[in-house]
Structure 1
Amino acid sequence: MGKQFRHITGNATLDASLRGGVVAIGNFDGVHRGHQAVLERALEEAERRGVPALVLAFEPHPRKFFRPDVPLFILTPSAMKANLLSELGFDALVEQSFTREFAGHSAESFVIDVLEQRLGISHAVTGVDFHFGKDRQGGPAFLMASGERHGFGVSLVDAFRDESAEIISSSRIRGLLEDGEVAQAAGLLGYRFTVQAEVTGGQKLGRTLGFPTANMTLPADVALRHGIYAVRFRREDGSLHDGVASFGRRPTVTSDGAPLLETFVFDFSDDLYGETCRVSFFGFLRGEEKFDGLDPLVAQMKRDEAEARALLAGVRPLSDLDARIAF
């Protein structure tokens, strides 16, 4: 039986067994390969010291707090981020409430109130671009000096670059997903982009056409390109199934539909309603189209199924994390 991962939200008290740990600090939206460089350093430091490994993140994302009028495509909502960090081997995710009051705290207050008193850390790991406190007054040098004063160590990790020497960032990945480039995004993430939601009831049109789908409503800020994808579908019981998914507004059958993720799970007939499931995206097949009736739609869906089966038959894990998430 492995250790139990803790997801601590708001201002909940930290369990005594988690105090004295190594904490990786950042937003970590996407938990991409750049983030993983910071996270792996934290895991190594925690193992060396024999203490818990924690992640301190902020909820909501500070950009959503400071610019609420500008939509922000969150790559890994809270629950998905917790899943990924658990798979990487962390003991806990602590999500600090990012409120107006918190945003007004000084950098020194953040160190004392959060790092020292709430978490009782022995070591902090951050990227070299991490800033904190009111008006971003705290940076790497401030954090290192604070560590000396308050009795904790600090490790700084350089920005991580991909094979083309470009810095990997959440904004780059968002741009790729907005273009439907899920395979390229996976290369930067280090795993296949994955969403998680409850399966809900739909119009059941797919069932009458021979393509019953598991319908999931994703957060409104998800800006993934509308279209058809080769995917893998994981149930609550852990079982994994290949499939083909449509994300979009279903223009052939409705004129004003809200975006919906509809997954046709291959060789499967069980009831999925009410289950919280995951969909991992392996390849973009085509954009969303409006067909002249249901017959040409069904013919195209059969071609999509064949293409998705062929694509998924040849895939291999990109990393240990990808193997645990999508294989």
Structure 2
Amino acid sequence: MQTLKDGALTLKGSVIAIGAFDGVHKGHQAVIRQAVEKSLVHQVPSVVYTFDPPPRHFFKGAQILTTIQEKLSRLYKLGVDYVIVASFDEWYATRPPKDFICELSMLNPVEVSIGSDFRFGKSREGDVELLKKYFQINETLPVYCNGGELISSSRIRQLISEGDFQQSYSLLGW
């Protein structure tokens, strides 16, 4: 697996999974596995496009579930070919959605895998519908635990703050 900064990679074809992937929990794993499987079908590299720090931490100071090193280790175990790590800072947060689309275009994606709630660009102006105008999009359905509750980084943070480490580890799936 090769790790690069945003804008540093050009490919003739790829399948991309995009997200903060903080914790690389079971829901994230579904998005990433889908991209890796599709990349094998299309015989192109798989790419994970992620952010450091996660946007929720940048904007709201949310607890980070995994360091960038832990995240990269988990992505490696999922069989990803390339990881692009965007430095999420003040400049990045003010980029218009079109800049992000241009950057993705350099990777010539055959497909882009995202969660259904994915937003991007300044003030979260970009959404799934905008991406669909430029790329073939695979929206991964939300993943729920056995109790029927949504698996999310926010929920895992809440469980950790309540001291429920057993359930939080279960949702992380590592």
Normalised by the length of structure 1, the TM-score is 0.50
Matching of residue 88 in structure 1 with residue 78 in structure 2: yes
Superposed counterparts of 1:137-176, under 5 Å: 137-147=125-135, 153-176=136-159
Q: CA deviation at 1:88?
A: 0.8
The separation in 2 between residues aligned to 1:13 and 1:157, in whole angstroms, is 27
Which structure is larger by alpha-carbon Rg, 1 or 2?
1
Give the corresponding residue for 1:122.
110
Give the corresponding residue for 1:180.
163
Say what the alpha-carbon RMSD is for the aligned residues: 1.7
The separation in 2 between residues aligned to 1:66 and 1:171, in whole angstroms, is 14
Return 119-128 or 83-92, whichever deviates more.
119-128
Q: CA deviation at 1:12?
A: 6.1
Moved over 6 A (4+): none
Q: Deviations over 1:101-140 (max 9, x none)?
A: 222222122101x1013x3322210000001111111111
Give the corresponding residue for 1:38.
31
What's the secondary structure of 2:80's corresponding residue? coil
Query: Which structure 2 residue ranges, 5 or more long, are not aligned?
Result: none
Change (3 A) 1:31 1:103: same
Change (3 A) 1:22 1:100: same
Matching of residue 13 in structure 1 with residue 8 in structure 2: yes
Task: Specify which of 56, 60, 69 is matched with residue 49 of structure 2.
Answer: 56
Matching of residue 110 in structure 1 with residue 103 in structure 2: no
Q: CA deviation at 1:59?
A: 1.5
The separation in 1 between residues aligned to 2:36 and 2:84, in whole angstroms, is 15
What's the secondary structure of 1:56's corresponding residue? strand
Q: CA deviation at 1:19?
A: 4.8
Query: Percentage identity across aligned positions?
Result: 37
Letter paired with 1:100: E
What's the secondary structure of 1:184's corresponding residue? helix
Tell me the number of residue pairs that the alignment of Structure 1 and Structure 2 aligns: 174
The separation in 2 between residues aligned to 1:12 and 1:111, in whole angstroms, is 11
Normalised by the length of structure 2, the TM-score is 0.91
Give the corresponding residue for 1:298.
none
- Whose helix proportion is higher, 1 or 2? 2
Q: CA deviation at 1:180?
A: 3.3
Q: CA deviation at 1:56?
A: 0.3
Q: Deviations over 1:153-212 (max 9, x none)?
A: 211112111112111011211222233322211221112xxxxxxxxxxxxxxxxxxxxx
Letter paired with 2:161: E
User: Conserved in 1, the CA contact under 8 Å of 2:57 and 2:64?
Assistant: no
Give the corresponding residue for 1:101.
91
